[in-house]
Each structure stands twice: as C-alpha cells, then as structure tokens.
Structure 1
Amino acid sequence: MDATPQLLSENASWWRRRCGLREVLIVALPLVISTASWSLSNFVDRMFLFWHSQEAMAASLPAGMLHFSLLCFPIGVASYVNTFVSQYNGAGEKERIGPIVVQGILWGCVIAPFFFLAAIPANYAFQISTVDPEVARLEQVYFWVLAYGGGASIVANAMSAFYSGRQHNGIVMAVDSSSCLVNMVLDYFFIFGYVSFVPDGIAGAAWATVLSQWYKVALYGGLILMPRNWHEYGFGLARLWDREVMKRLMRFGSASGVQLSLEVSALTFFLLMMGRLGSEAMTATNLAFSINGFAFVPLVGLGIAVSTLVGREIGAGQPNVASDATWSGFVIALVYSGVMCVIYWTLPELFLAFHQSSDAEGVLATTTILLRFVAFFCLLDATNVVFVSALKGAGDVKFVMIATCVISVLPVGVGAAVLLSGGGIYACWVVLTLWVFAMGATHFVRFLYGRWRSMKVIEPELISA
C-alpha cells in the first residue's frame, strides 16, 4: 500500500521539487481561474434570473442539472482526451496527440443531435417532480434551448484537452474566461429583454449560454488550426475516423463518462426531489449550490491539473513523482477549502447581499442555514476531487465508475425515503453531506492502496523512463 506520501526528496524541498507545491500551483492556477470564471458566470446568471423572477431562478438549477447530467457521459469521454494527451506528452510521442484530439471532436459532433430527443422525457420529469406549474413550464423552456449547445460543450472539452494535457493552461484560461465574459454580457441583454429578437427571461439566459459555448469552439478551432500545431502534433496525418484510436478512447473514456454521469445524475435526482418541498426550498437550494460554486468549481481546475501531472508522470514511467503531484494538490485543496469553509460559516451575508428583496426573507434565511452544510462538505469535496482526479489520470477509471455506481444509491434511495417519511430540506441536506463524505473516503483509500501505479491508458510499449 502507498500509505506514506512521497513528500520529500534528497535534492529538493517539497516546494521546489518536480510535481511539488510550486509546479502544481503553476499548472493549476490558470485552470483555477478558468473554472472560477464558470462559477462567476453561473452566479451572475442566477442573480439576474433572481432579479427577473424567483420562478425563473427556481427553474434554472434542476433544468440545468438535468441537461448537464445528460452531457456528463459524452463530456466524460471527451474530457478523457486530456489523460491521453498528458501520457503521450510524458512519453515523448507528440505526433500521436492530434489523432486522439480529432476523435474526441468527432465524438462530440456525432452525439450533438441526441440532446433534442431528450426533451420529451425531460418535460414529463419536470411535470412529475415540480409542484408549481409555472416553474415546471420554465424548466421545459430552459432545457429545450440548452439542447442547441450540447454538442458545443463536448467539442470544446476535447479541444481544450489539447492544451491542458500539455500544461499550456494559459490558453485554456484565456478562452474559457473570455467565453464566460461573453455569457455574462449576453445574459444582461437577453434576460431583461434588451435584444428584441431574443426571448427574454429564462429563455434568454439559456441562449446566452448556448452562444458562449459555440464561441469557445470557434476560438479553440482557430488556435488548433495554426500551422505549428497541424504539423508537430499529427493533426495533418489524423484520419477523420480512426477505429483503433476511437476504440481506445471509448475503452477508458466511457468508464470516466459513466462515473461522471452517475454522480451528477444522483445529484440531479436529489434536486428534482427538492421540488416536492415547494419553490422556496428549491430556490434556497439553488442559491446554496450557486454560492458553493465559489469553493467547488476552482477545485475542478485543480483536479484537472493533478490529473494532467499524474498522467504525464505515468507516461514517463515515474509513479512516485505522480504521487507527489497528488499530495501537493491535496494540501492546496485543503488550504483553499478551509478558507472558504470559514467564510461560509461566519460571513454568509457576503454572498447573499445581491439577492435582497422584500419577498425573499424566508428564502435567504433558509439559504444561510444551508451554507453551514456547504461549509462542511466543501472540505469533503476537496478530498474527493483531488483523489478521483489522480486515479483517473493514471487510468484507474473502472474502479472509480463502480464505486460511484454503488455509493450514489445513498442520495437517491435514502433521500427519497426521507422525503416520503416527511423529512424536510435539512434532512435532505444531511443525506447529501453523507454522500460526499462516502465518495471522498472511498477514493482516498483507493489511492493509498496504490494499484494505480501500474496502470496506463496509452500503448504499453510507449511508456518511457
């Protein structure tokens, strides 16, 4: 078992060594800024919707989460291009990077039309789960418009992996941040009806999201088509359909996609159940999740950095250095989450100041209490994100998938039982916190066990020292 972290070496401190704190911070910081911009964009989006109407605010989270839960499997496959790119890069096989990126882009294009087919069953789900008919109608509108951007989200993830997998994260930060800025600007004009040919309210918010995703695809596409990338990384030699490359991507990426889909689907089911408690409970939960994005979403960027560095060192035949990257990322995650935990617990009004209104006092009081729950499980999220990212970066995706499938029974089964027995919003949040704890503890123990050290996703003969 890998029970002791490899924190020190003979020749360098933990700060300066390869995959120590300094390198992890350098790799992670642009990705943290990039993912933090998503959180800011979502926060502004829901703040504008709250100003427009509380019904629109209440409808945006369950509809958005259901759309994202459908995105999770194909995005999980496309995002796993990052692990292939990092391991090929670590092994010095640059010309193999282009073909895997092309297959990831093709995957997004093939999947895109299927998001529209999900509209009919989604409408039934909203009608069954939501008490307020107006909120259910707005959920249907939001979900349908978001379908136009589903393919863009998948393609953009595959494209961004070309840069994040090689630690060129400044480009990812610039593209994602500019896309979020576009989204926020369009939100303002679309939600409040300042553009006459775009439906306002929640439909306008959805169209802003769709257009910002296609903007990101166009920007990444222009960068990838630059002559240097075309020749050095094998894009010019890549086939539009490469059976062997696609087969390898699906073999590992599909397990990653199933894991992400199961996790988000369980959370989505939990949120849909909250609709049975009424619009006030749903709005408070929506606000709490939106605010939690400030703690959780930057951890996603850190997780991408950990996965990339672990993949690079596995590709280079250096599992001990990959372990260093993971423990360094874990320390950084705990420090950041600890700060956010204190702020959520002691200063919740910092996040609620922009949501004040005469008819929202009950919602804000409930949200303040929910932020105490958030303060607890943001630390648990930090543990889960770092160690699941390390396992996926090495290729231990089958275990991650099975563990998620088993543990996700908790919020679905227990949460439904709590509601049927008359439990309220706080009882449901206790279930959610226990779920996050179980996920983090399981992946932490799996990492300590150390089986990931002998795994890889690229061809075995390419692993170099």
Structure 2
Amino acid sequence: MRQNHIPRLLKLAGPMILSTSTITLMQIIDALILARHSSEAVAAIGPSGLAVILFQGFLFGTAGYAGTFVAHNHGRGDARGVRRSAWLGIHTSLASGILALAIAWPLAQLFLLAGHEAQVARDEQVYFLLCMAGSLFPVLSSALGGWLSGIGRPALVTAVTFISLIVNALLAWGLVLGAWGFPRMGIAGAAVATVSAQGVAAALYLGIFAIGGGFTDRIARRLDWAEWHRFLALATPMGLRISGELTAWTLFLVAIGRLGTVELAASSIAFRINGLAFFPALGLGQAAGILVGHARGGGEDDQVPAIAWQSLLICEVWMLAMAILFATASAPLMSVFAGYGGDAARIVAAGSLIMKFVAFYCLFDAANVMIGCVLASAGDTCWIARTFLYSSAGFLVFLWLIDRTMPGLVAEWTLATFFVFVTAIIWSLRFRFGAWRRTRILHEPELPA
C-alpha cells in the first residue's frame, strides 16, 4: 500500500538542510565579510571556494556514503552493522585527510595559470590551500553526520552545525577585518575561520560518537579490508559524481573569469545566492535518501517510488518559490554581496541578468538533486558516476567552443542552464525505468542454522 512519507521526510529534512548547507553558509558569511575587504577577494572566493568543495566533495561524498550503509542497517535492525558502517566512514575520512594534505600545495599553484588578474589569482591560491589542508575536519563530520542521520537523530546534526556556524562567523569577522584585536588577514582569515569552525564540528561529532559507545565495540572498530573494499566500490563513484559535477562548475567559473573580474564576481555571487535554493534541496534529497535506505534495508522496495515522487513534489514547491524570489529580487540580492567599491554597480547589473538564468534552471534542478539522491541511496552509484562523466564532458566541450568562438555572459549561462535541464531528464528516466531495484547495498542476511 502506498504510504504518505511527507511527514517523516519533513521531520528529517530540517536538520539535513542545515547540515548540507554548512559549507555554503560559511562561504556566504565569508563573502559578506570579504565584501568589506576588497572586490578582488569577493571574485576570488567563487572559483577557489568551488575548487575546495570540488576536491572535498569527492572526499566527503565517499566518506559520507557511510550514512547510506547506516540507514540500510538501521532499517534491517542490525545495531552492530550500524556501528561497523560508521567506522567505514571514519577509516575513509582518515585516509582522505592525509591525501588532501599531501595534494593541497601542488593544486593551489594551478590558480596562477587560470588567466585571472594577479591579485585575484593570489587570493584564490591562499584560500584554496588553507581550506584543503584542513579537509579532514569536514570529511569526518560528513561521515559521523551521516551516522546520526542514518539512525534517525538529525537534531544532533543541527546542534553541531549551529555551533560551527557561530564559530565561523565570529572568527571570520575578526580575522578578515582585523576586529577585536585579531590581525587583519583578508581572505586568508576567512579560510582560517572556516577550517577552525569545521574542526570544532568534527570534535563535537567525535564526542557524540564516543558517548554513543562507538569506540567500545572492538569488532565494529576493526578494519575489515573486504568490507571496506565493498564500501569503496559503491562510495567512490558517489564521490566521483560529486567532484565531477563540481569540476564542471569550477571550470565554468574559470571560463567566466576570462571575461573579466566583474563577470567573475557577479557569477560567484550568483552561485552563493543559488546555494540558498540548492542546499536546502540537497538536504531534502538526503532526507529522502535516508527513507529509501530504511525502506530497502527493511525489504520494502515498493515504497521507494512513493518516497521519491512525494519528495520531488515538496522540492519543486521550494524551488518554485526560490525561482520567483531570484527573478523578481535579483538586484537587491546581488547588492547585498557586491560590496561598496567602484565596480559594485556593474557587478549588480551583470548579476541581475545571471539571476534570471538561475531562477529558470532551479525549476529543473529539483529533479536533478532529488532523484539523484534517491538513486544513490538505492545503490545505483556506478551508473550515476559514469553517466555524469559523459554529460559533464559534453558540457565542457561546448563551453570550450563558446569560449573560443563567441565568449559572452549570456551564451555561457545559457549553456549552463541547458546542462542542468538535460541531467534532470536523465536522472528521472533512469529512476522510472527501475534499474535501481537490481542493486543491493548490503549482503543478504544469513539464515539461522
């Protein structure tokens, strides 16, 4: 029988929305404060911030997939499986943190080759380097936040997120602008504030995990190489899908940056504002993914379509409201972030045009986000990663052609909008055809002797 899953979805969604919005909320705080520092810093935080999320997206997309394993085990009623799944995420986080620290400096040098103005490039380099060096903290938070959400305790995720946001805001104000006796560090201060806040969140999650007995179960804590390999086989494509999407959008911003600092600043601000719509939608998608995990873990696959379509309906209502806001109040929204420099009026004018494109593609992004999350929670991660690789490659080829032959703000944002539309159609068709039913996250339970 088809159930009404909307009450459970909304109960989970609030904390998940706040959790998924953390990094973007921190970057919005940074952007607001940096607007009082310099327009170059505002322009720089767009590409460098996306690049940080690009690489961290792979890492916490992989580690955070532990939450899917947790949800399936919770639906099955396997308490030890829940703890073992959480530890799979912790082990992956530790490996990810070491990898990020090793590649932070070499990757930061690439910003000097992007063709941006000299000060913008230096600011991009500094922000990326500092945030990447602290990648362990958000990745570990993603894994343990997934554990709490998977067992149906997202309120604790809300509390940790709220504390980290306060820490970030206070430190950013002090370190960027030199308030309260702090040194005036500019964009480096914004990065230090973000990493410090993420470190506080990771410490709180570890404390909650310890109180919940997560460190006392030696069997769950032990790394099972075969199980970890199985986990990575499903989780790594999810991380690749996230990083692949972010790669496409980062290169899109790099191409926009070749048009000029004003266009780059306006596009960077547009992405920050779009985060107000996108990350709540992603939180809804992750809440739907938890319900899918519980249903599949409990052997109730027939409930998954109802979860997906009811969740999509709620998401479309949200995105429609945000699209109307973006289309009708684009100039005031852009003015909040544009700062007070000589380029502010030009940034607002360019950004107001861009926000019309953002408003339009929001209507399709609901399906892109929601159905993508449902498919991932069902275990269809390899197909998602492979398909998105192909579509992103096509997007980047057309972006390169436009950049070479007819560069312009309208042409490049038109292509971006079409890309969002196409991916939404692809995900929806995949789910409707039902191939996800053939995938399995967990081993079948052993029958009693």
Same fold, judged at TM 0.5 (above): yes
Distance 1:395 1:170, change over 3 A: same
1:412 maps to: 396
Amino acid at match of 1:427: A
- Aligned partner of 2:20 among 32, 35, 38: 35
Structure 1 contact 75–153 (Cα < 8 Å) conserved: yes
Matched, 1:357 2:323: no
- Using the TM superposition, give the Cα deviation of residue 124 of structure 1 relative to its aligned residue in structure 2, in angstroms: 4.1
- Using the TM superposition, give the Cα deviation of residue 230 of structure 1 relative to its aligned residue in structure 2, in angstroms: 5.5
Matched, 1:383 2:335: no
Distance 1:239 1:358, change over 3 A: closer
1:293 maps to: 275
Distance in 2, Cα, partners of 1:171 & 1:30:
8
Matched, 1:436 2:420: yes
1:324 maps to: 306
TM-score w.r.t. the length of structure 1 is 0.91
Structure 1 contact 306–325 (Cα < 8 Å) conserved: yes
Q: How many residues align?
A: 445
Instruction: Report the RMSD for the aligned CA atoms in angstroms.
Output: 1.9
CA deviations on 1:431-453 (whole Å, 9 max, x unpaired) are 11111111111000000001112
CA deviations on 1:397-424 (whole Å, 9 max, x unpaired) are 1110111001001331111110111321
1:187 maps to: 172
1:12 maps to: none
Unpaired segments ≥5 residues, structure 1? 1-7, 10-16
Structure 1 contact 142–202 (Cα < 8 Å) conserved: yes
CA deviations on 1:292-337 (whole Å, 9 max, x unpaired) are 1111010111111011111110111111112211111100000000
Unpaired segments ≥5 residues, structure 2? none
SS at match of 2:440: coil
CA deviations on 1:338-357 (whole Å, 9 max, x unpaired) are 00011111122442342453
2:295 maps to: 313
Amino acid at match of 1:432: A
- Aligned partner of 2:89 among 101, 104, 125: 104
Distance in 2, Cα, partners of 1:237 & 1:429:
52
SS at match of 1:277: coil
Distance in 2, Cα, partners of 1:131 & 1:28:
39
- Aligned partner of 1:427 among 411, 435, 441: 411
- Using the TM superposition, give the Cα deviation of residue 213 of structure 1 relative to its aligned residue in structure 2, in angstroms: 0.8
Deviates more, 1:189-198 or 1:269-278: 189-198
Structure 2 contact 16–287 (Cα < 8 Å) conserved: yes
Structural mapping, 1:146-225, within 5 Å: 146-194=131-179, 200-225=185-210
Distance in 1, Cα, partners of 2:214 & 2:446:
21
1:129 maps to: 114
Structural mapping, 1:192-271, within 5 Å: 192-194=177-179, 200-227=185-212, 235-271=217-253
Distance in 1, Cα, partners of 2:25 & 2:374:
26
2:257 maps to: 275
Deviates more, 1:441-450 or 1:260-269: 260-269
Amino acid at match of 1:59: A
Structure 2 contact 324–359 (Cα < 8 Å) conserved: yes
Distance in 2, Cα, partners of 1:32 & 1:89:
21
Distance in 2, Cα, partners of 1:399 & 1:227:
35
SS at match of 2:223: coil
Structure 1 contact 314–453 (Cα < 8 Å) conserved: no
Aligned residues with identical type, % of pairs = 29
1:141 maps to: 126
Structure 2 contact 46–269 (Cα < 8 Å) conserved: no
Distance in 2, Cα, partners of 1:261 & 1:187:
26
- Using the TM superposition, give the Cα deviation of residue 272 of structure 1 relative to its aligned residue in structure 2, in angstroms: 1.4
Distance in 2, Cα, partners of 1:114 & 1:199:
30
- Using the TM superposition, give the Cα deviation of residue 40 of structure 1 relative to its aligned residue in structure 2, in angstroms: 3.5
Deviates more, 1:202-211 or 1:97-106: 97-106
- Using the TM superposition, give the Cα deviation of residue 83 of structure 1 relative to its aligned residue in structure 2, in angstroms: 0.8
TM-score w.r.t. the length of structure 2 is 0.94
Structure 2 contact 241–389 (Cα < 8 Å) conserved: yes
Deviates more, 1:200-209 or 1:255-264: 255-264
- Aligned partner of 2:74 among 75, 89, 94: 89
